Each structure stands twice: as structure tokens, then as C-alpha cells.
Copies of this chain bind each other. A is one copy, B any other.
Amino acid sequence: MHTLYLIAIVAEAMSGALMGMRRGMDRFGLALVGAVTALGGGTVRDVLLGHYPLGWIAHPEYLVITLVAATVASWAARHVARMRALFVTVDAIGLAAFTIIGCDVGASAGTAPIIVVLAGAITGVCGGMLRDLLCNEMPLILREELYASVAFVTGTLYVGMQSLGIDAGFATLVAMAAGFSMRMLAVRLGWKMRTFGAADVEH
């Protein structure tokens, strides 16, 4: 799980850096957006739970990793951008891994099951949301349901199985597999939820 986490924060930092490059940022902006994309979800979760110290303050090496990954991505941007398929895969792993880790943190705070699932979902999706805010765009996850839905399904499976007394290792495996497959299928098959428009509100 720890290895998955490290792979996921590297991938997230790189994808954040690439979006920052497309928006005309400089090297510092790239590093910051990369770090926020990778660590922002866990930070929002911990601030909301009052769970101190934050992960990257207790383990500054995570912060260093994301800064390095973002900088490497800016050196090799064209090569990195070409590896789109690899990124989508790693991002799907990361989404599921972040969500499960977030659920564990939420559970250790002794909150209600719905809050545990939400803590997982926040961990999974808030990094990308902050990235979009910094890039001055409406957060993508508000318009593309499956990213957030995957986080909720993964978290619900994981928390649900544990509350049924199923072994945590097995629950992790099943929830990871389900979340990863759902995300990959959504990307491959172009699954999308219906979005609304002004016409749905006015006459």
C-alpha cells in the first residue's frame, strides 16, 4: 500500500505540473501545483478532521518527492505527455489507493461510517479539485461524475466490508480492484453522467 501511495503521489504531481505548464506557469508554479495536486486531498481531509500533524509535515520526504516529480515532469514534458495511457492507469491506481488510505484515517478518528467514506473520497478527489482552482478552472470532478463516483464506490465497499467483519487486507484488495476497474472502464468506454444546463432550470 505504501508503495502504491508513493507511485500515486509521483503520478499526481506530474499530472499537476503538466496542467500548470499548459496554463503558462513558471517553474515555481509547477512545483507548487504538483505538490498541491498530490498532497492536497490528504491535507483537506486532515484539516477537516482536525488530524494533526498533517502527513507531509510529519513526513517531509513526501513533499520533497512531489516537488522533484513536478520538476522532472517539466524537464521531460513532451515525453511525459506522450505517456498518457500510463498516466491514466497510475491515476486510477492512485484514486483507489488514496481513497482507501483516507478511509483508514477517517476510521481512526472514530467518526460515523458515512464520514469515513467521505474522508476517503475527499482524499481521492480534492487534490485535483485544488489544482483546478489554482489553474482558475471550474473543478473537473464537478462535471465528470465518474472520478468522484469511483471514490465513493471504493470507499463504500471498503468500509462496508470491514463493518461486516471481513479482514482488512482482503477488503483492501477487493476495493482496490473494484475502484481501479471502474475507473479504467469509465475512461475506456467513455462512461459519463448526464450534466445539467441552464435549460434544465429556466423555462
Contacts and interface: CB of A to CB of B under 8 A. Distances in A.
Interface in A115-137: 115, 118, 133-137
A49 B60 contact: no
Interface string A76-112: 0110010000000000000000000000000001011
Interface stretch (A4-12, A24-32, A158-166, A167-175): A24-32
Nearest to A147: B28
Nearest to A152: B28
Interface in A125-157: 133-139, 141-145, 148-149
A48 interface: yes
Contacts of A63: 114-115, 118
Given A142-B134, A145-B28, A77 B47 contact: no
Interface of chain A, helix or strand or loop or mixed?
Answer: helix
Interface string A46-90: 011110111001001001100000000010011001000000000
A184 interface: no
A26 B138 contact: no
A80 to B, nearest CB: 8
A77 B202 CA distance: 8
A21 B201 CA distance: 7
Contacts of A43: 48
B77 A33 contact: no
Given A54-B48, A134-B139, A201-B18, A26 B114 contact: no
A195 interface: yes
Contacts of A60: 111-112, 114-115
A22 interface: yes
Contacts of A25: 142-143, 195-196
B138 A138 contact: no
B141 A24 contact: no
